[in-house]
Amino acid sequence: MLSTGALRAHLLAARLAGPVATSREESLRSYRLFAARDPRILLGLDPEWNWGAGDLLRLMADKCGVSGDPRHTSGVDVIDPERTLAGLEAFAERLQDAARRRLPILIGTGHPHRLLGFYAALADALSAAGCSVLTPAQGCCVDITTRFGLRTYNLDYVQGVALLREPGVRPTGSETGAHSHSPLPVRRVLAAQAASGGPLPELVIGDHGWVCGAGQLGFEAIGLADTDDPALFVGEAEGRVSVVVPLDDAVRSDYYRPLTRYVLNRACLSQ
């Protein structure tokens, strides 16, 4: 069993928390774009409140532990490991409740290269506990506007985790999917599940548009977010996202394994 102290040390050593790779410039740019209602940063959320860049900075200082000083405009950003630990505790509580009630679950990621292993372990544990891990719309196409123009991606599932693939790409040992912020995949998946008459998810787990897109549609959603992803924290503040864990979402995939063990243990889902 990994202790809280050992996990805190790991968060700092792996730069999942503390000084992280996300730059202050990246974070502040995201806050400005969110305030301007740029859909690339909204991630499918339609904020109810009027969020200015200063409001977002104060929110992120509270939720993540970034510096709330607007004069701090460059360098690395910082995540308070205590806030990460608190987020993981709340995340584990939601998993435990879902397992106890055997809820239907949907899991999806826009960071498959980094986070697929983390989510796959959750899918496996929840399935073993009696939850239905839903996989609707597999193989369907999703058209997403990118900086390169309109591109078509294919929905796929790996070990119960939804992700996008570039058209024509076949999975190999190292290729896991495309990086995406879009809420369109989760909208397509939820629509397909509704059309099939099957059970709708009672908990959506993931990041980026998977969480915000589901939360905006009224589904309970929990996930992970970096300092340059204010949409998830706004969703949490406005009551449309249940739990957000602040951490760097783009470190080496094996650095998330201790988090997986910790969360599953706290949720009483260790196998």
> Alpha-carbon torsion 99, 112, 57, 67, what sign?
positive
Q: What is the pTM of this model?
A: 0.95
Q: Which pLDDT does position 201 carry in this prediction?
A: 98
What φ, ψ does residue 175 adopt, rounded to 5°?
A: -90, 125
For residue range 167-218, list pLDDT tens digits in order: 766 655 455 799 999 999 999 999 999 999 999 999 999 999 999 999 999 9
Q: Which pLDDT does position 12 carry in this prediction?
A: 98
Contacts of 225 (CB under 8 A, 6+ apart): 207, 211, 231, 232, 233, 244, 245, 246, 247, 249
Q: Which pLDDT does position 147 carry in this prediction?
A: 74
CA distance 181 to 34: 13
Q: Which pLDDT does position 145 carry in this prediction?
A: 81
Under 8 Å between Cβ of 261 and 270: yes
Cα 134 vs. chain centroid, distance in angstroms? Answer: 17
Give every residue of the chain whose pLDDT is below 50, as ranges: 173
Q: Which pLDDT does position 171 carry in this prediction?
A: 59
Q: Which pLDDT does position 175 carry in this prediction?
A: 58
Query: Three-state SS across 109-143?
Result: CCCHHHHHHHHHHHHHHHHHCCCCECCCCCCCEEE
Domain map (residue ranges) of the chain: 1-270
